Structure 1
Amino acid sequence: MRIKGIGAALAAAVLGWSTGAVAQPANLEARFDSVLGTQPRAAAVAPASHISDLQQRVAALAEPSRGRIGVMAVDLSTGQEVAVLADQRFPMASTSKIAVAATFLEGVEQGRWTLSSEFPLLIPRQSARFSSAVAPVTQGRYMPAIDLIEIMIARSSNPATDALLAAVGGPGVVSNWMRRNGITEFSLDRDIATLVRDDGEFNPAIHVDVRDSATPRAMVTFLRGLHEGHYLSPTSRQIILGAMSRTVTGQRRIRALMPMNAQVAHKTGSLNNTSSDVGIVTLPDGRAVAMAIYVTGQGTRLEREAKIASIARVLYDGFSSTPATQTLAQQRFEQGSGRIIGN
């Protein structure tokens, strides 16, 4: 359902946030819920007096006066979390391609096909927006599956993605794979040719569309499971993470402000008025941080990318300054509050 007449209401909802002295992510999320009609949720963080300095810095960068911004990051060694609108749906765009690769590679492990099996690129044919449920495509040249996975992730090839989607049985199969692995806030509904052709129906800065969307928390949960080897064999895991480390798209996003020697394995996404980047960044001491940053609005694509880069660097510096010996319980228990911050 499209939300109309939202401009004034949204401005009123964020007024207190954009002018307040202290960042309050829980209040921010509640404001969006009341304006956008998203489902109410239990508080994901402690009260403002117990919010970590890192959480406040990220929340300040993610203020929503020019469009929704969702952030989720987890130190995979200590369990420390940073979350801003992490349970709200955002357009995945091409960040969903990691899940497509995982679904296909499970089929390889089950013997349904091999990495050398060849499939045709699926090239979109010209068609009017919304003129059909599925955009027409034509077969291109055949390529081995291992090469399709590489260009799907590292170069974000849409024809390669649709080739692998067709092989596994369509977008719904990918969504089912995620659900089987415990990730429910993820929905892939259209192939890439259709998604791109029909892009622009809604403005993601002010509209929550559950189609082809995920929450930042769901994406980080997926990245964590992938990194820790919960879903696939070591070989399949390395195929995906290796391709992510060779990503050539989005050089102005997560990677942009990182130190030159920082290890970054990531996947970008772009659609109308939305830019995103998700991945795993290795800290100087070897700890890994999984992060998902979804940015809508902000004026231009360059401004969205700059926002992603700034948030990613604050996360990198903030997690780097946290001692590796600090435990999950120490990270998440605020002395005197009498509560553990919820998952």
Structure 2
Amino acid sequence: MMFRRAAVLVLLLVLAGCGEPPMLGQTDPLFDRQKMTADFQPIADRVAPGQLGVAVEDLGTGQIISFNGERRFPLQAVFTAPLGAAVMAEVEAKRLRLDDILLIEDVDLSPPPSGVADLWAGPMTYSVQDLLERAIRDGDNTAADVLMKRIGGPGAVTAWLQGRKVNALDIDRYQRQLQPDSLGLASFRADWKGEAAYRAALDKVPPAERRRAIRAYLADPRDTATPLGALRFLEAVNQAELLGPDSRRLLGRIISQTRGGAGRLRAAVPEGGRLNHIPATARTDLGFTPVVNDIGVYTLKDGRKFAVVAFISGSPLPVAEQEKAIADVGRVVIKAAK
């Protein structure tokens, strides 16, 4: 667990869609560290022998609480949020335009989920903005990889984050590399596009090899973040450290359209509140879903905002039970905020 106060006011809250100074009476610490630790522990026990990681920030006071906050967890689709921010930074720098047209050929296709790959029947073109929306809103791996390549690759995104003091959030591989690696598959090929073809290719890999691959993936420090690192990203976006107003508004609008994850942090939204978030789930194979995540920002009815990161890795529970655990993390936060 970790506690911090910061004497800085939030200038803009992208993921919540607006930015305001703290509410009156909200400049002092709110969270009870010991109580929240006690409340997170039974949730962690439920997902064992998997690991639960949590980081929470009161964006009005800068107070931070974490649970396994410095442990590394796989990102999965959470990476699309920093990717989107990096793309918008390139637009601001005038090295890229949202209406630029990018060509997608067979060598650019990536594993499911990918509506772009599913529709591919030959060279196709998409605008940068269309690909950005598909990558974040739909978790489209082809769209994400094409954008990643256009702005310099995974290393360029990580370097951009680190240059803005967003550390412990590392993007190292394209999804066309990461996803097959994590399941024991060879490098992705175009004739595996679509769920049925990809599933058929996966079924040819012996179960023992698939289990070894997923264990290696869970132990791999690449393409991971600590809960505190992911929280720092949310903080940097909301404090206007990464993007200008127009870019923040567009990124916030796209994130607000993100699909899925209704049973996670969203399930804890109180009456009159709202949540903008990025859920992420690894592929279920051999009855095991190794990663279930959610990050986002709650805005309460009274205007207060709380950034929340909830990561689960290596849990044998079904997805629905892991989602309930994340929802309970959200409930702990909302209860502590009352």
Above 0.5 in TM-score?
yes
Paired AA for residue 164 in structure 1: L
Per the alignment, residue 93 of structure 1 pairs with: 76
1:254 aligns with 2:269: no
| Aligned-pair CA distance for 1:79 | 2.1
- Alpha-carbon distance in 2 for matches of 1:112, 1:139: 28
Paired AA for residue 173 in structure 1: A
Matched length: 262
Per the alignment, residue 54 of structure 1 pairs with: 36
| Aligned-pair CA distance for 1:155 | 1.4
- Alpha-carbon distance in 2 for matches of 1:204, 1:285: 45
Per the alignment, residue 302 of structure 1 pairs with: 320
Per the alignment, residue 291 of structure 2 pairs with: 274
What is the TM-score when the length of structure 2 is the normalising length? 0.72
The correspondence for 1:68, drawn from 40, 46, 51, is: 51
Change (3 A) 1:140 1:178: farther
1:289 aligns with 2:306: yes
Per the alignment, residue 211 of structure 1 pairs with: 222
Q: Deviations over 1:293-343 (max 9, x none)?
A: 101214221211111111112212212x1xxxxxxxxxxxxxxxxxxxxxx
Per the alignment, residue 85 of structure 2 pairs with: 102
Per the alignment, residue 228 of structure 1 pairs with: 239
What is the TM-score when the length of structure 1 is the normalising length? 0.71
| Aligned-pair CA distance for 1:125 | 7.4
Structure (1 or 2) with the greater helix fraction: 2
Secondary structure at the aligned position of 1:222 is classed as helix
- Identity level (%): 26
Which 5+ residue runs of structure 2 have no aligned equivalent?
A: 3-31, 113-119, 184-212, 283-288
Q: Deviations over 1:115-138 (max 9, x none)?
A: 111224532379xxxxxxxxxx99
| Aligned-pair CA distance for 1:285 | 1.3
Which 5+ residue runs of structure 1 have no aligned equivalent?
A: 1-24, 27-49, 127-136, 322-343
For CA contacts below 8 A with separation 6 or more, give which structure has more relative contact order. Answer: 2
Is contact 1:156-1:249 (8 Å) kept? no
Per the alignment, residue 109 of structure 2 pairs with: 123
Is contact 1:90-1:204 (8 Å) kept? no
Secondary structure at the aligned position of 1:115 is classed as coil
4+ runs deviating over 4 angstroms: 137-140
Per the alignment, residue 17 of structure 1 pairs with: none
Paired AA for residue 146 in structure 1: Q
| Aligned-pair CA distance for 1:152 | 1.2
| Aligned-pair CA distance for 1:212 | 0.5
1:144 aligns with 2:127: yes
Secondary structure at the aligned position of 2:182 is classed as coil
- Alpha-carbon distance in 2 for matches of 1:311, 1:204: 27
RMSD across aligned positions (CA): 2.3
Paired AA for residue 145 in structure 2: D
